[in-house]
Every structure is written in C-alpha cells, then in structure tokens.
Amino acid sequence: MNDTNQQRPKVALVHDFLTYWGGAEQVLLSLHRLYPEAPIYTLLFDEKMRAYFPDARIRTSFLDRLPGFLRRRKRLLLPLMPTATENFDLGAFDLVISSSSSFAKGVIVKPRTLHIDYCHTPTRFLWDWYYEYLEENRLRGVKKMLAVGLLHLLRLWDRSAAERVDRFVANSECTAGRIRKYYRADSRVIYPPVDVEKLTGLGKDFVPEEKDYYLIVSRLSPYKKIDTAVTALGKMHLPLLVIGEGSDRQRLEKMAPDNVRFLGFQNETRLAAYYRHARALIFPGEDDFGITILEAMAFGKPVLAFGRGGALETVQPGVNGELFDSQVPEILADGIRRLNKNYAAYDPEKIKLAAERFSRERFEREMRAFIESACAQAQDRAGSELIKTGEYAKFSID
C-alpha cells in the first residue's frame, strides 16, 4: 500500500470457550485463517485445541486460571462470566470479531472500534431454552429460586451486551429470526463453513468394525435430545454409534442398550471414516444450523433430522434425507422407517452437491466481503468527525 493514510487494522478475535471441537470452532478456525495475526481471546481454553490452532496467540480470561475442578464445571462459573468477558482489554484494536453463542459478544470496545459478532445463536439457556434448562438441571426449592434470579440477571446482561455489537452475522435464517426477536437487531446470514475437500480426503485407511450403522455426531448435552434417538434405535434393535463428549454422556450411557455405542471424541481422520461407512446420520435436536448435517452429506449420506431450526434450510425430504416433527422415540422411529423405505432413491452425488454449497472457501469469501463493507460504512459514518479531531486513519483489511 503506497497511500500513507492507509494502514492495516489491528484485529482481535473473541470466542466463548475453546474447550471442544464443534461447528462454532470451525467458524473460528476460518476467521483465524482470514486474520492469522489476530489474537484469540476466550474465557476457557483446553490444550487439546492446540491441534486445531497450533500457531494462534490464545489469550484467556482469569477464569482459566482457576482450579481445574471449577473450570470443568462451567455452571459454577456462570456468575463470573460477564465480568470475565468485559475484563478483556481490547482497547488497542480497530476491529473485533466475536464468535458467540453466549458471552463473547459482550466484550467492551472503544468507540472507534468496529465490533462484528458472528452469532451461532442468542444464548439459548437464557431465552428459548430457559424453562427446559431449569427442568433438565432438576432444580428445586432454594436452588431453583437462586438459579431463576441468576438467570434473570444474566438475561438482562445478555440483552445489554447485544446492544454493544455494531453488526450481527447469523449462521442461518433461523438464528437471524431469533436475533430479531430477542435482540431486536438485524443481521446478515452467512452459513458456516464445511471443509468438504479436506474432510472427504481423510480416513480412507480406517474401516470401523461396525457395519451398516446409524451415526450421531454431537456435543452430548440434554438439549441435543440424543436420548430420543438412543431409545428409538434401541427398541428397533438397529446399530447406533454416538461420537462426541459432553455433560450428558454418563446418563446416556446408563440408559443405552447393547446396540448403542458411545465412542467419545474422535479426531478428524476417524470422524471422516465413521461418516464414510455410516448408513445415515441421525440429528435429533433442534439446532440453529447443524454443521454435522452437511459433513454427513459431504460423504453422500442421507440425514434424518428433527424438522425445526437450521435443518429446514439443509434437509430436503426425499432428496437428501427425511424430517420428523416431534422429539419422541416413536416419531423418530417412524422417520427411520421412512428413510429406509426411500433409501434406494437417495442419490449420493446429489447429496454431495448440497454440501458443496457450504464450502470453507465460500464462507471466507462472503465473510471478507461483509467485513470490508462494514468497515467502509463505519469509516464513512465516523470519518468526518474523527478527521476534525485528528484521530482518523483510514485502513484497509487487504
């Protein structure tokens, strides 16, 4: 750049928690690829995530320096998370991009700093999943009263935190609708990335012992409704493999019959192999997008998904899978029967084409264009006043 008035912006990335590899972390990885020099701020960090971010500068909150038994129990840290988020010092940055499904959007930035939030969902346990959250945690009496009070305060903070965001990006039309409802804000939909080419090139030398199995790849949390699938496939005596970790694993393993196996965390190579040899993916929860749906489709596999949320934007009944309309085992079982009845009609090549629409290259191209546009608009609005004060310096993100 020859223009002496231009300079590269100082960029920071913020992510809720870097403790588990999932769809949100794939988004963060793409953002890191766009801005490799940008430090990543996160509330909690697990060293196993270094495998995905080997060269990143990770900066953690004071929560990450607490004893391990507390770090592993995030619910105990909820009262401190707003403070920990606001305690990140981002004063030196021109552009902050948060990747958030809970707290990261609440960072405090300077007036001159542009804050763009890639929203995976408005904080579910505070909004659309509030009553289910209380029920799942079996809170009663004084504990429930304290939890209700805490969640009320966190909801007020969450709403206030959303107002600090300059521009929202939503991961689906479903999420965009929730942003409008709960945060009263508009957003641009940019679907998250699926690294189709990389994923489908992995795991060709590994063949699972199981044959013709159904597959679930998910964080094992109650709201994912894995228990619905475990019960349904258990009664149908069909093989089910469950990949993922989470707080609900112990309960699910206790209720699972012999035809259901829990494999825990699997690296990318093993995960690709399990996708490749599966009969179909089961997606029993209501998610805002559901990136594992696209990962399975990248291998030409049909998907049976609960017919709400982001699945409605990716699953076409009779073409690349089927939908079921109630999260009870009997209805899910009926969906499996429909999927098996239609199985010969699914064209693996057409299914793969559906996944290719969500490539990593497409995501990075759309995000870069959106960020460039947002930066230009922010400069147009603020430029004249900042020029008067001598504080304005035009920058380019190229």
How sure is the predictor about 7, in pLDDT bands with cuts at 50, 70 and 90?
low
pLDDT, residue 2, reads 41
- Mean per-residue pLDDT for 69-76? 88
Give the pLDDT of residue 58: 98
Structure tokens at 45: 């960090």
Domains of the chain: 11-193+359-389 (3.40.50), 198-356 (3.40.50.2000)
pLDDT of residue 63 exceeding 90 = yes
Full-model pTM: 0.85
Q: What was the pLDDT predicted at 397?
A: 55
Beta bridge partners of 322: 304
Block residue for tokens 């258990």: 234
The HSE-up count of residue 153 (CA atoms within 13 Å, CB side) is 11
pLDDT tens digits, 354-363: 888 898 999 9
Instruction: Give the pair of three-digit tokens for residue 125.
Output: 């346990």
Has residue 4 got a pLDDT over 80?
A: no
User: Average pLDDT, whole number, for the chain?
Assistant: 91
What pLDDT, on a 0 to 100 scale, did the predictor assign at position 317?
Answer: 96
Given a cut of 70, is residue 394 above it in pLDDT? no
Strand segments (E) across the chain = 11-18, 40-45, 58-60, 95-100, 114-119, 167-170, 187-189, 214-217, 240-243, 260-264, 280-283, 303-306, 321-324
Q: What is the rounded average pLDDT of the residues 26-37?
A: 96
pLDDT band at residue 196 using 50, 70 and 90 as cut-offs = confident
Helix (H) / strand (E) element for 350: namely helix 348-356
Q: Residue 300's Cα: distance from chain center in Å? A: 23
**pLDDT band for position 396 (50/70/90)?**
low
Region 309-335: mean pLDDT is: 96
Please list, in sequence order, all residues whose beta carbon lies within 8 angstroms of the beta carbon of residue 231, skipping any fewer than 6 positions away. Answer: 255, 329
Around 369, how many Cα atoms within 13 Å sit in the side-chain half-sphere? 9
